[in-house]
Amino acid sequence: MAKKADPYTPGEQPRERKYIKLNTNENPYGPSPRAIAAIKEVADDSLRLYPDPTCEALTQTLAEYHGRKPEEVFVGNGSDEVLALAFMTFFNPGDPVAFPDITYSFYPVYANLFNIDYHLVPLEEDFSLSLDRFPEKNGGVIIPNPNAPTGKTVTLDFIETLLKRNPDKAVIIDEAYIDFGGTTAVNLVDTYPNLLVIYTLSKSRSLAGLRVGYAIGQAPLIEGLNRVKNSFNSYTLDRLAIAGAIEAIRDEAYFQETREKIITTREKTAAALRALQFTVHDSVANFIFISSPDMPAKQLFEGLRAEGVLVRYFNKPRIDNYLRVSIGTDDEMEAFVSAIRRIFTKEGLL
């Protein structure tokens, strides 16, 4: 008998027509040209050989970038795999892990898959996260910062309080979107041996198709992750991914240029939507979380799809009247706002 599991549902990847894709938080700008060149360079006869199971060159590059030691860095096949390994390594059945009730939907999937109990921490009405809502006793904590799908962030003081409250349990900060305006918690690693910070190269480095994620924490945490990883797959990253990731990290100028474009476009789009009376929550991610008082989210989602624009709709309690909209290029976001105007005009709302 197969194990029962409720899997994660990814954003739609349509093939039947060309859409403006604002539904999966992909970067609208391509990877660093240096990363592409590095991938092409290693696409040769060496692919008959296994990659380095320790990913030493990439680990060293990431350690230098963050001012850490190599033994404080763990790499994996996308941050989703790193998260799965972290759940297996640090959380235990019968000891509920705490995470927000509105958050990245892979967390409950992993908890259920690995038979880990969990405690849902209710967000406030404005979707902010309150320290008072966290249980005093728990089997660990995981939060995304900024949160998904809301885009809201918490302060480093907030994170430090969680770390101090849980000195003997892992506190995992999932920073998939941190590069779009948030403040990383990585500088707290020296002070707190229970802190693990997880990153991805899918978003700000435009490498969603390459699958590279990593974690930073004190050496004992990283050693634990490696033990679990090597228990089922020693070769998590291939030669192409390692080469491309190294150059994506090294090309700081390209990274800064593209992230600033996305931040600027995000703020311009938010202003345009507010002018249409939308509720737009402040975001420090590469997406915005929006709601219209004039049209239900599901109706707007379907109307946008008919207009050739894909956004993300979550048919879940408390957020079923919101849409998550990834930030594309200026032209894509202007087309998105224009599509809303056409939909509203047809319905007599403009």
Per-residue pLDDT of 197-237, as tens digits, reads 999 999 999 999 999 999 999 999 999 999 999 998 999 99
Q: Are residues 289 and 196 in the same domain?
A: no
Q: Residue 16 — very low, low, confident or very high, per pLDDT cuts 50/70/90?
A: low
Q: Are residues 138 and 257 in the same domain?
A: no
Q: Are residues 230 and 269 in the same domain?
A: no
Q: Are residues 25 and 43 in the same domain?
A: no
What pLDDT does 232 receive?
Answer: 86
pTM: 0.94
Rounded to whole angstroms, how far apart are CA atoms 28 and 20? 10
From 250, 265, 296, the end of a domain falls on 250
In a domain, 303, yes or no: yes
Report, as an integer, the average pLDDT of 310-324. Answer: 96
Rounded to whole angstroms, how far apart are CA atoms 171 and 193? 10
In a domain, 9, yes or no: no
In a domain, 133, yes or no: yes
Q: Are residues 78 and 194 in the same domain?
A: yes
Q: Are residues 179 and 226 in the same domain?
A: yes
In a domain, 49, yes or no: yes
From 191, 226, 250, the end of a domain falls on 250
- Output the six-digit token pair for 338: 């224009």
Question: Which H/E stretch holds residue 249?
Answer: helix 239-250
Q: How many domains does the chain have?
A: 2
| 257-274 burial code (b ≥16 CB/10 A, e <16) | ebbebbbebbeebbebbe
> Could you list the residue range(s) of the whole structural domain that residue 318 is in?
20-29+253-346
Report, as an integer, the average pLDDT of 286-300. Answer: 97
Report, as an integer, the average pLDDT of 19-25. Answer: 96
Q: Are residues 88 and 206 in the same domain?
A: yes
CATH classification at residue 188:
3.40.640.10
In a domain, 316, yes or no: yes
Q: Are residues 243 and 257 in the same domain?
A: no
Per-residue pLDDT of 83-113, as tens digits, reads 999 999 999 999 999 999 999 999 999 999 9
Per-residue pLDDT of 217-228, as tens digits, reads 999 999 999 999
Provide CB contacts within 8 A for 54, sequence distance 6+.
none
Q: Are residues 236 and 259 in the same domain?
A: no
- Output the six-digit token pair for 36: 């592409």
Q: Are residues 269 and 199 in the same domain?
A: no
Read off the amino acid at residue 188. Answer: L
Q: Are residues 274 and 144 in the same domain?
A: no
Q: Are the CB atoms for 329 and 265 separated by under 8 Å?
A: yes
Q: What are the DSSP calls for 25-44, one per residue? A: ---SSPPPHHHHHHHHHH-S
In a domain, 129, yes or no: yes
| 51-81 burial code (b ≥16 CB/10 A, e <16) | beeebeebbebbbeebebebebbbbbbbbbb
Q: Are residues 241 and 292 in the same domain?
A: no
